[in-house]
Structure 1
Amino acid sequence: MIPSSSVKVVVVGAGLAGLSAASTLMKAGFQHIQVLEAMSRPGGRVHTTRPFGQDVIELGANWIHGQEGNPLFQLAQEQGLLLEESGSAKTMCLPGSVTPRDYFFEESGRKLPMDQVDQVCAFFSKLTSRAFSSELDPKHSTQSLGGYLDQEFAQSLQATSKVGQRLFEWCKRSECTDEASSSLYEVSAVQLCHYVALEGGFFNSLGPGGYQALVDTLLDSLPPGTVLCDRPVRSIRWALEGESHAHPVSVLCQAGQCFTADHVIVTVPLGFLKENGAAMFEPALPTSKASAIERLGFGTVDKIYLRFEKRFWPDDCAGIQLVWDAGPEDEKVYQHSQSEGGAWRDTWYKKICGFDTVARHPTVLCGWITGREAQHMETLDERMVGEVCVRLLRSFTGWSVEEPAQVLMSKWWSEPFVRGSYTYPPPGVDAVREHNALAAPLPQPSDAGHSQEKPLQVLFAGEATHVSFYTTTHGAYITGIREAQRIIELYGDKKLDS
């Protein structure tokens, strides 16, 4: 056995997956670890900023998804990063979820009564819960989530009223935020049951350091110089043999710098792999892995932050939700809108479901937008987007709304090393098989035993490689530990707790 202290490991990507992998290996005694980050900052899809003063704004990851069994929640608790030490952190609503403090407005300016909103939203939640709980009728097994919802809603009492139909469409648009999709017709209904929601609710319970504090905790566990930023990787050559190759893997950066390794852990987002995976690896990725990259969905979710000089919404208002007059959209209508060209670009703003208040920022609202409309929004300047948002707020509410003092938008589609936000399962795709194929290392220890190649030369981590926790930060974190553990076990080290 080669001593773990002499093994060289390169980690591509300094998000939560890459940093947890590097930290786990360091703790196990591996001394030659290099993390290469393409962007100018570590964190990946965690991006904590302070554009409006001392308090943080999250352009990326926003929530800790559950407490029980969530290693990120436990890490935050151990490091004193939560607002409440007791662990009963303040529950925050996800975009699109409804509280009694949400104000729902129709296009006409009429504020909808909450009992009417609650009836439709509760019915929608009941339908989606069936999908996530594996309780769907077999007739829905091949349907999209949108198709299943449309069919069930059409048979309900809520479908008999125009307001009910409009609210149901609002629910569908808001669910797109959870699924990172342009439409729920792009999401499988039956495959959602593989996602596991941890107990304890959703929490925006991190203290003044925000999500960056968790990233910093992992960075602090690594020696100086371990993480190199502005190092985009051009290619990964593996299965190198012969006396001239002391190590079987070579990682070439775009600037020409080359790193050799016994093992490379690739933690780049699925969106980047979709765009670059075919040319990035030599030899090429096996068909099963290339197919998984192609078949899994990876969508865009963006935020629009509006800072006003003074608050114009009531103190008891936690969100201003926009209920459009347009009638129900079915799968055929959506597919037609795709094929007919760019007409939807003229009404991109209709994908904004509403504007939510922001913790610790009393004069800031946050709008959420997804899919192709989000990608189009990223091509517009912030001033124009701010003007559109103010026009919506004025026309729906009838309130006096001044121009925002600042507008800030996330642009995850435009980020060349990300190309989107997170993963979803499309219709007709066996998500478990594809997630597992994406996670499989190259070569497998059993394969290497026959070919004499060194096993585990290229390993894969990130939220898209987790069957049950895709889309989540804890999913990314866990997969980094998982791949580090493969290497640790290869050299006979004692298994660490994850």
Structure 2
Amino acid sequence: MKVALYCTVTLIILLLHTSHGYRTVIVGAGLSGYSAAARLLERGVNDILVLEAENRIGGRVHTVPFHNGRIDMGAQWVHGQQNNIIYEMVGAHFPFGDSAWENAADMFLLSDGTARNQTQIAQLAHLAEGIMAVVYDPSYTGSFGSFFEYHYWNALNNEPYRAIPRSLATKVQHFYHTYTNNFFGSKSWFDISIEIYANAGYTLGSQWVTWRDSGFSTVFEFLSKRRPFPQQALDVESKILVNKEVTNINWDGAVITLRCADNSQYLADYVIFTGSLGVLKHRHNTLFTPTLPARKTSAIQYSDYGSLEKIFLEFSAPFWDQSYNFAEFSILWTERDIAELTGTSREWLIHIGYFRRIDAFPTLLGVFFIGARIPDFNAFDQNKIINDCHWLLSRAYTPNVPRPINAIRSNWITLRNFMGAYSLFTPTSAYYGATPSRLAEPVNGSNGRPRIFFAGEHTSQLFSGYANGAVETGYRAAAEVLSAVV
């Protein structure tokens, strides 16, 4: 009798759950969430739902219209070709561009416009880039910044660098410091773990493969198989609800309950959480009920989340020499200019390292901005950005630089559903064991079986910070769900 009653109650619960819940709810429709949904659909799991807080699909892939094409306010390049899941998926079916950065020429400029010794600068750049191509030594546990400075200044005591003025060497070091921070979204290269830097899954081939004027969002057409095999297309979009900010995930029970800011509620057997590390750092205590295990919260606490903002400056016509493979104006800041700008409204310019050409858009220069002054930058209006950048270019290059006619900028750090650019792992992270693999660990329910899975670039041990890392972790989380289903 008791067995029959128990089975009847269990059947009722299962029927109710089947009627009102989902096998899997995915939080976030960025690259990782979209990839997870596509893989589950591909494996025949249709009982899924994707809840996206923004009013658009894409996450940190944010492609926007620009004249007759599209530009990227978020992810922009495919970094590497061999062993890059995005390139391997798309490359044979899409006419990628390649900015050929490895063979392009930087034009180094002193910030005050004075003459520079290009031969000596080239020597220092060659030295710096050799150090940046570091092979990890496990006996060294410091930061990348301390590693770079140690090897850089030791080399300068030897030939052929001994005759180079130390003031010029300092300027070049400042440039590579800014360049590195641009790449990692860090405030300082002393915040970058040498282990993470050296073990990052750099893929072979060009690191600057571009989508030309199509934009990074093209990748979603391939993830859903709308390209190149439309007959195999997966209807991922029909599973996505936008404007659905998840405010709480209650996993204390047989069914997981997800509540959204609009007071809607959804039930699930499993959850794949793909929100950014920035969101986790700011809201994990209220997002999950009960709170996540200490091992997980420690990894969230001691990992970092980098800030990086982007500007596209539009000119009425290119003013730079187009007779050679021009890459960028690389700014070498003088000590005097740094001192004079510090504490002024133009201090943010010190954290600009270069003005870079944009493939397929000959009238655009791209600028990355990092540093402690990002909150100030996000308060700047368009005119200030244009005026300040024009001031710097006119001073460093030539007074005849035309004024930009437009500036398009990002604001990732201020957006509630992102809170920054991408993950960053510091020497402190390494000390406390805050690694991507720990951030990727599922959370088990009371029955000891996994209930909540985590994906996103911050959970990729080899490709944290990269778009291909986001895709791979989405596929990995989908596989974990499939393994957990009984």
How big is the shift at 1:411? 0.9
Secondary structure of 2:372's partner?
Answer: helix
Q: 1:172 matched to which residue of 2?
A: 177
How big is the shift at 1:49? 1.3
For the pair 1:414 / 2:431, whether they are aligned, the reply is no
CA contact under 8 A between 2:71 and 2:213: conserved in structure 1?
no
Q: Which amino acid aligns with 2:148?
A: L
Distance 2:384 2:337 in 1: 28
Instruction: Name whichever of 278-287 and 430-439 sits farther off.
Output: 430-439
CA contact under 8 A between 2:111 and 2:331: conserved in structure 1?
yes
How big is the shift at 1:327? 8.1
How big is the shift at 1:296? 1.0
Distance 1:212 1:25 in 2: 20
CA contact under 8 A between 1:182 and 1:373: conserved in structure 2?
no
Distance 1:227 1:43 in 2: 11
Q: 1:64 matched to which residue of 2?
A: 78
Q: Which amino acid aligns with 1:255?
A: D
Distance 2:289 2:194 in 1: 36
Q: Which amino acid aligns with 1:491?
A: V
> How many corresponding residue pairs?
450
Q: How does 1:31-46 map to 2 (within 5 A)?
A: 31-46=46-61
Q: How does 1:261-340 map to 2 (within 5 A)?
A: 261-315=268-322, 316=324, 317-326=326-335
Q: 1:376 matched to which residue of 2?
A: 376
CA contact under 8 A between 2:76 and 2:210: conserved in structure 1?
no
CA contact under 8 A between 1:180 and 1:301: conserved in structure 2?
yes
CA, structure 1 residues 92+235, in 2 after alignment: closer, same or farther (shift >3 Å)? farther
Secondary structure of 1:429's partner?
Answer: helix
Q: 1:145 matched to which residue of 2?
A: 144
RMSD of aligned residue pairs (Cα, Å): 2.6
Distance 2:331 2:80 in 1: 28
Secondary structure of 2:450's partner?
Answer: coil
Q: Which amino acid aligns with 1:118?
A: A
Distance 1:105 1:207 in 2: 27
How big is the shift at 1:190? 3.5
How big is the shift at 1:194? 2.7
CA, structure 1 residues 257+344, in 2 after alignment: closer, same or farther (shift >3 Å)? farther
TM-score when scaled to structure 2? Answer: 0.86
Instruction: Name whichever of 115-124 and 249-258 sits farther off.
Output: 115-124
CA, structure 1 residues 440+223, in 2 after alignment: closer, same or farther (shift >3 Å)? closer
* 1:87-120 alpha-carbon deviations (Å, 9 max, x no partner): xx62543xxxx75522111133135344322211
For the pair 1:206 / 2:211, whether they are aligned, the reply is yes
Secondary structure of 1:102's partner?
Answer: strand
CA contact under 8 A between 1:7 and 1:32: conserved in structure 2?
yes
Distance 1:312 1:196 in 2: 37
Q: How does 1:41-440 map to 2 (within 5 A)?
A: 41-51=56-66, 53-78=67-92, 80-83=93-96, 90-93=98-101, 101-130=105-134, 133-135=135-137, 138=139, 140-141=140-141, 143-157=142-156, 158=161, 160-219=165-224, 220=226, 221-241=234-254, 248-315=255-322, 316=324, 317-326=326-335, 343=343, 347-430=347-430, 434-440=435-441
* 1:150-176 alpha-carbon deviations (Å, 9 max, x no partner): 222222324753112211111111111
How big is the shift at 1:145? 1.8
Structure 2 unaligned blocks of 5 or more:
1-13, 227-233
CA, structure 1 residues 103+207, in 2 after alignment: closer, same or farther (shift >3 Å)? closer
Q: Which amino acid aligns with 1:18?
A: G
Distance 1:469 1:392 in 2: 35
TM-score when scaled to structure 1? Answer: 0.84
Please identify the structure whose Cα radius of gyration is greater.
2
* 1:344-389 alpha-carbon deviations (Å, 9 max, x no partner): 8751111001201111111111111113233321121121111100
Secondary structure of 2:89's partner?
Answer: helix
Distance 1:181 1:63 in 2: 19
Q: Which amino acid aligns with 1:44?
A: G
Distance 2:104 2:72 in 1: 25
Distance 2:268 2:423 in 1: 29
Q: 1:480 matched to which residue of 2?
A: 474
CA contact under 8 A between 1:177 and 1:369: conserved in structure 2?
yes
CA, structure 1 residues 50+114, in 2 after alignment: closer, same or farther (shift >3 Å)? farther
Secondary structure of 1:77's partner?
Answer: helix
Instruction: Name whichever of 305-314 and 211-220 sits farther off.
Output: 211-220
CA contact under 8 A between 2:302 and 2:428: conserved in structure 1?
no
CA, structure 1 residues 37+109, in 2 after alignment: closer, same or farther (shift >3 Å)? same
Distance 2:413 2:49 in 1: 27
CA contact under 8 A between 2:22 and 2:267: conserved in structure 1?
no
Structure 1 unaligned blocks of 5 or more:
84-88, 242-247, 334-341, 493-498
Q: State, as a whole percentage, how many aligned pairs show the same letter.
A: 25
CA contact under 8 A between 1:55 and 1:208: conserved in structure 2?
yes
CA, structure 1 residues 310+201, in 2 after alignment: closer, same or farther (shift >3 Å)? closer
Q: Which amino acid aligns with 1:24?
A: R
Q: 1:86 matched to which residue of 2?
A: none
* 1:69-88 alpha-carbon deviations (Å, 9 max, x no partner): 2221122135x2233xxxxx
